[in-house]
Amino acid sequence: MAQKKYLLQENDIPTSWYNVVADMKNKPLPPLHPGTKQPANPEDFYPLFAKELVWQEGNQTDAWIEIPDEVRELYKQWRPTPLVRATGLEKALDTPAHIYFKNESVSPVGSHKLNSALAQAYYCKKEGITNLTTETGAGQWGAAMSYAAKAFGLELAVYMVKVSYEQKPYRRSIMQTFGAQVIASPSMSTKAGKKILTDHPTYGGSLGTAISEAIELALQTPNCKYVLGSVLNHVCLHQTVIGLEAEKQMAMADEYPDIVIGCFGGGSNFSGISMPFLRHKLTEGKPIRLIAAEPASCPKLTRGVFQYDFGDEIGYTPYIPMFTLGHTFAPAHIHAGGLRYHGAGAIVSQLKKDNLVEAVDIEQLDAFKAAELFAQTESIIPAPESSHAIAAAVTEALKAKEEGTAKTTLFNLSGHGLIDMAAYDSYFAGDLVNYSLTEADLHKTIDPLDKLI
Ligand SMILES: *Cc1c(COP(=O)(O)O)cnc(C)c1O
């Protein structure tokens, strides 16, 4: 069946990102210095991040932050991205619901991550930085950052979570193609990695560990900054180009979403698609539901605690106010590697606390089942991460069918799964299982947290 697409022109690419914090009544709590446990100063972050990014991170007053021309020019390589009415999926579900998706899989690296990677590389370059370090889980952020670093002539070292390094060799090849150096984490190249490997020699790694390693290398390397692909406020800010375009495209379709859904790792693509719509709820009282779809095996929003916690495993980062499973949480080896992070960013955490966003948890097998249906009806093989958003959209569409309502749902297709076919292979071979986390499991990593709230 022919898809109905809503396409914008180059000059429709937004000229500013939307900073939802300016419109939030309850602002996110401040990050705390890990030593003094007092609110951190912007200067505390300068050794790690470009100054302009630190400014964006703490900005609570400007609702609109201008996108630099250089970044907007590079966005034109694949933006604006299509908005698609998923008529094939609607038909297969026999639902009266209208389902739309924003297709971020069309970027040169196949995911939304490039929206922030290019911005971060730009600000670092502008500040005279020559080297960058970062971490990557499934490899999408590493791939995006490699592309962005190359675009601005910067050197990049990527710590890649070891299980993904082994499970997803092609993402490693993509990073290498764009000229990045890729190291499996935990590694012996940092103190953090050495400590973890000594304690747990067979540890498959986690994003928390890889972040510790990347931060350590950045702090030891002259003229080097660290860049992060999710969680932080400035990353969520850059991703709002997704929702701002979608806002215009939904209007072209003469529709307005009742429900907006994004899968949830640290919160960047969910924030990207949903914050521009949350703006209507905050400033005009529009009754819209925003749903974050997270894996049942890494359920920070649905089962975690709201507490100050570290962004990394070792505790190099400031304390961030977040829904968290504890920074030492080691999630099951699900194939949605991009969703295996222990915490949620400060903005979404505050919004969840204030009941302005909702969260659902999705079992791994349900995500793949939804992915299969989506591929067969919409002709795009989705990333395992994005499949969580699809599964949540399917649930809502079936609910609408039961209720006999023509609800309009918009979800973000954060990436394609063409480099994740090993995961699909495991699914078809019947090797994938659901992981259920017991309360006892959760207590092990949540109970030891400092109680700073
Ligand atoms: C990284 C990634 C995610 C999860 O990260 P968020 O910051 O929560 O968006 C989701 N989908 C894809 C395709 C990714 O690469």
Residue 378 and residue 63 in contact, taking contact as beta carbons nearer than 8 Å: no
pLDDT (tens digit, 9 = 90+) per residue, 252-277?
999 999 999 999 999 999 999 999 99
Q: Whose CA is nearest to atom 9 of ligand 1?
A: 269
**Which ligand 1 atom sits nearest the alpha carbon of residue 263?**
10
Helical H segments across 36-189, by residue range: 42-45, 51-58, 69-75, 87-93, 114-126, 140-151, 162-167, 169-177
Among 116, 160, 268, name the best residue to mutate to test ligand 1's pocket (greatest count of ligand atoms within 8 A of Cβ). 268
Task: State the distance from the centre of ligand 1 to the C-alpha of 270, rounded, in angstroms.
Answer: 8
Task: Please give the average per-residue pLDDT across 231-253, as a whole number.
Answer: 98
Please indicate whether residue 382, judged by its CB atom, sits closer than 6 Å to ligand 1. Answer: no
Q: How many other CB atoms sit within 10 Å of the CB of residue 447? A: 10
* pLDDT of 2: 59
% of residues, the chain, pLDDT over 70: 100
Residue 69 has pLDDT above 70, yes or no: yes
* pLDDT of 207: 84
Residue 333 has pLDDT above 80, yes or no: no
Task: State the distance from the centre of ligand 1 to the C-alpha of 176, rounded, in angstroms.
Answer: 21
Residue 72 and residue 15 in contact, taking contact as beta carbons nearer than 8 Å: yes
Query: b/e string for 139-176 if b means 16 or more Cβ within 10 A?
Result: bbbbbbbbbbbbbbebbbbbbbbbbbbebbeebbebbe
State the DSSP string of 61-83. Answer: S-SEEEPPHHHHHHHTTTPSPPE
Q: Residue 218 — pLDDT band, cuts 50, 70, 90?
A: very high
Residue 83 and residue 101 in contact, taking contact as beta carbons nearer than 8 Å: yes
Task: State the distance from the centre of ligand 1 to the C-alpha of 453, rounded, in angstroms.
Answer: 28
- Tell the residue number behind the tokens 């609910």, with chain if given: 399
Q: Whose CA is nearest to atom 4 of ligand 1?
A: 265
* pLDDT of 1: 52
Residue 211 has pLDDT above 70, yes or no: yes
Please indicate whether residue 230, judged by its CB atom, sits closer than 6 Å to ligand 1. Answer: yes
Give this prediction's pTM.
Answer: 0.97
Residues pairing with 181 in the sheet: 157
Dihedral of CA 309/302/363/101: which sign? negative
**Which ligand 1 atom sits nearest the alpha carbon of residue 271?**
9
* pLDDT of 206: 84
Residue 270 and residue 344 in contact, taking contact as beta carbons nearer than 8 Å: no
Please indicate whether residue 415, judged by its CB atom, sits closer than 6 Å to ligand 1. Answer: yes
Please indicate whether residue 107, judged by its CB atom, sits closer than 6 Å to ligand 1. Answer: no
% of residues, the chain, pLDDT over 90: 91
Residue 302 has pLDDT above 70, yes or no: yes
Task: State the distance from the centre of ligand 1 to the C-alpha of 112, rounded, in angstroms.
Answer: 7
